[in-house]
Every structure is written in structure tokens, then in C-alpha cells.
Amino acid sequence: MRNSLRRSDRQAKRRNKVVDVVTRVKNRQGLDAQESARISHAASTFSSDIVCVANGRAVNGKDVMSVMALRARQDTPVRLLATGRDECVAVQVLSDVLCTSESGSTWNAPSYIQ
């Protein structure tokens, strides 16, 4: 019993870890509908809770309308916070989406997401 409590305490501590990255919007139109859809689609493939913060607003990264509500323009800093089993990969992928997307381009999910 004592070992199982210790194990569950360690698991709880791991679950409380938050990965935090700041990146910038590269799309010329900022977080328009198409860019917001790319971000929320990528975020929804992860089990982690994902929060995007920009312009003083914090929103659910898995909700396209919330991401659009950030109203982030090109070169606006966006803070990505994730907590959960796959938080490190989630933040890396979302950062890549924000950094590589350009107007008119399509983002293809990496094979480990599909």
C-alpha cells in the first residue's frame, strides 16, 4: 500500500507539469480563420490541455473560434501552454505550425499525429 501511494504521488506530480513556449505568428494575415483552424486541428490531435495566450487573452487551443478571438497579427508573440501526457510534443508541433504557416500554404500533420 505504501509503495502504491508513492507511485500515485509521483504520477500526480508529473501530471501537474506545464510546458510553456513563446513563439510568434508568421502568417501575413495573422490568426485568420484558416490559420486558426490549422492550430486548433493540430491541438485537437493531442490529449494534453492546451492554452494559447496573446494580446492579454488566454483561450483553449483546441477551439477554433477561441483561437480566432486572440486577434493576433503577424509577429504577435503567442504563448503556448500545455499540460498532459504529450505536452512536449504538442507545444513543439503547435510552435512549428505558428512559425511555418504562410498565407495560402497548407500544413500537413506529421505522421506521428495522424
The predicted pLDDT at position 108 comes to 53
Helix axis angle for 33-44 and 87-100, nearest 10°, is: 160
CA distance 93 to 90: 5
Q: Could you tell me if residue 32 is inside a domain?
A: yes
The whole model's pTM is what? 0.75
Confidence grade of residue 17 (pLDDT, cut at 50, 70, 90)? confident
Domain count of the fold of the chain:
1
Residue 84: which domain range? Answer: 18-100
Q: Could you tell me if residue 109 is inside a domain?
A: no
Confidence grade of residue 66 (pLDDT, cut at 50, 70, 90)? very high
Q: Could you tell me if residue 66 is inside a domain?
A: yes
**75: domain CATH number?**
3.30.1340.10
Q: Which three cell numbers stand for residue 51?
A: 492554452
Q: Could you tell me if residue 78 is inside a domain?
A: yes
Q: Which three cell numbers stand for residue 44?
A: 485537437
Contact 113, 41 (CB under 8 A): no
